[in-house]
Amino acid sequence: MLIAACKAKRAKHPLQVGDIAPDFSLKDENEAIRTLSEFRGHNVALYFYPKDQTPGCTAQACSIRDGFTDLKEAGITVIGISYDLPKSHQKFKEKYHLNFPLLSDTDKRVSKLYNVSGIWFPDRVTFLINKKGRIVKILRDVSVKDHAREIIAAFSGQQNE
């Protein structure tokens, strides 16, 4: 009952394709403050994931790592967000040689802003944001093993100015 009430509350103001992606400031794996606005002028895949070092999240991160060259050639910057602490992100990045920033949403503020906050973990959702900061696609049912290719295909089907 509590979970259903939380999901109903989140659904009141969901972000939609065409909305400007809300800006935020979060610490990365090195505890540097990163903002979404610093990536303005780039196509961004902002992906929320449940937890570092878990099987599905590791497969998803490694898919992005392995597809990094193709993502870069397509002009796409990837940013991962979970509730984990920067130290956890740092260990995760080092262990799997991840080549993109991981941000810590420890107070769940950004996950709530994007309507993906769960009680213990954020929902696995990827927001595709164009160079002007507008959401052009929301990927909710992602393939963790093929996520890089999904991101590229979804962006290639959009008008990205």
Q: Is the dihedral of CA 9, 81, 157, 21 positive or negative?
A: positive
Amino acid identity at 161? E
Cα distance between residue 130 and residue 40, in whole Å: 8
Of 26, 45, 46, 57, the catalytic one is 57
Cα distance between residue 114 and residue 100, in whole Å: 20
Strands 25-28 and 102-104: antiparallel
> Distance from first CA to last CA of the chain, Å, rounded?
43
57 catalytic, yes or no?
yes
Output the CA–CA distances (angstroms, integers) from residue 160 to 20, 30, 68, 153, 154, in the order listed.
14, 31, 19, 13, 11
Annotated active-site positions, please? 57
